[in-house]
Amino acid sequence: MPVPPSKHPARRARRKDVRPSEIREAALALFSERGFAATRLDDVAERAGVGKGTIYLYFPNKEALFRAVVRHDLLPNLEALESVADSESTSATTTLRTILFALLAACDRPISAIPKLVIAEAGNFPALARFYVEEVTARGRRLIERVLRRGIEQGEFRSVDVTLTVPLVVAPALMLMLWNASLRPYAQAPVDPAKVLEHHLDVLFRGLAPIQTYP
């Protein structure tokens, strides 16, 4: 029995609502597999199961699609970590540990390929690199700076140059993320990311501790 015509608009509306997320999901998978330059909108459309023209209804070009992927699939994770950092009921040490292990957990998700992609293609796509710096890395740096300053103010950490310390805090987690997205399949010696991060935190907190207070 034919479906009454009045039901079609509602069904099409529901489908229209989910299309942007399906397109972003397909784009993220292809960006992770091929990089930005090698990913074509034709391929994204095929992976998402839509016509190429449908993509242009939501995203004017591939650069806009990349920005949408970052804003919808990466930034919510950063926002969650900002909420963790803003909780003064948790020690700065615990907060930094939570943030870094959250970054480590992202290593097994497609979004972990985005930092590698941006680094590899920054020279060819400077506008995307600037966008990523402004909306992701600068925001992440401010997040770590807040936690470090809180730890210093509360006497949990010794006084250090916060700006210079931020890269020391996050570098190992980012290195593990890049390793996972590129070289891990080819490495002969296995690396246990959790053990590496635990060792890093031990060294980091010993370096940040007030003199003669760390066991």
Least confidently predicted of 13-17, 96-100, 130-134: 13-17
Token duo for residue 25: 């999901």
Positive or negative, the Cα torsion across 40, 127, 23, 140?
positive
Domain segments of the chain: what residues?
5-208
| pLDDT computed for residue 6 by the predictor | 43
**Single-letter residue type at 144:** I
143 has a pLDDT exceeding 50: yes
**CA proximity to 146, closest of 97, 75, 92:** 92
**What is the mean predicted confidence (pLDDT) over 128-141?**
94
| pLDDT band of 215, cuts 50, 70, 90 | low
Q: Is the pLDDT of residue 9 over 80?
A: no
**Range of weakest confidence among 6-20, 54-68, 73-87, 131-145:** 6-20
- Over residues 142-161, mean pLDDT: 95
What does the mean pLDDT of the chain come to?
86
**pTM (predicted TM-score):** 0.82
Which residue's structure tokens are 């310390």? 165
User: Each residue of 29-39: pLDDT tens digit?
Assistant: 999 888 899 99
CATH number assigned to the domain covering 5-208: 1.10.357.10
DSSP of 11-44? HHHHHHHHHHHHHHHHHHHHHHHH-STT--HHHH
Residue 3 has pLDDT above 70, yes or no: no
pLDDT value for 17: 55
pLDDT digit string, tens, across residues 85-118 = 888 788 999 999 999 999 888 877 888 888 888 9
CB 162, CB 149: distance < 8 Å: yes
Q: Say yes or no to pLDDT of 83 above 80.
A: yes
Query: Which pLDDT score is estimated for 87?
Result: 82
Task: Tell me the per-residue pLDDT of 37-46, one tens digit each, with 9 for 90 and over.
Answer: 999 999 999 9
pLDDT digits (tens, 9 = 90+) for 174-190: 888 888 777 777 877 77
* Span 19-37, average pLDDT: 92
